[in-house]
Amino acid sequence: MNRFRWLILCILLLAGCSQEQSFEPDEINPEIDVCEICNMGIVHENYATQVIAKNGDVYKFDDIGCMMEFLQDEQTIKEEDVAKKYVRDVNTGEWIELEKAFHSYHPDHWTPMANGVVTFKDKQSAQEYENRIGEVYDYQALLEHNWSSQP
């Protein structure tokens, strides 16, 4: 009987060790959460973004432009230490992995930091935003966007 208990304990320990950590976004609390870059409160929740490090640290931003600045700087976290990057669909608030999202860019699109990049979960929604003004970005176009030219 003692060997049976030891075997069960070993199986449970191994099962616990083999589980992959999930890196899910934290909920935004507009009363206390502030942007890592600009220190503004994250009050427009559907524009919020997050970077989750492999060590579990969560970095929150009020705008995709702040997140992109944070990622490009690499003084706080290097790209290889990032587990997930999340953005939100501006219409639904649904969290989406950055690499899977689509964006509409136009300098007149309102965003918390006035960068004009608005995020959507699918390409069709990005195309339909604001009566089709603007340019639709996928992940690669977002990386190539000139963030420093923003007002």
Residue 47 near residue 79, CB atoms below 8 Å? no
| Dist. CA 53–CA 83, nearest whole Å | 5
* Environment class of 147 (CB within 10 Å of its CB; exposed 0-12, middle 13-18, buried 19+): middle
Q: What contacts 71, CB < 8 A, 6 or more positions away? A: 51, 77, 79, 82, 85
Q: What contacts 129, CB < 8 A, 6 or more positions away? A: 90, 104, 109, 118, 120
Token pair for 137: 């970005």
Q: Residue 11: pLDDT band by 50, 70, 90 thresholds?
A: low
> pTM for this structure?
0.82
- The pLDDT tens digits of the residues spanning 54-71 come to 999 999 999 999 999 999
Helix (H) or strand (E) holding 68: helix 64-73
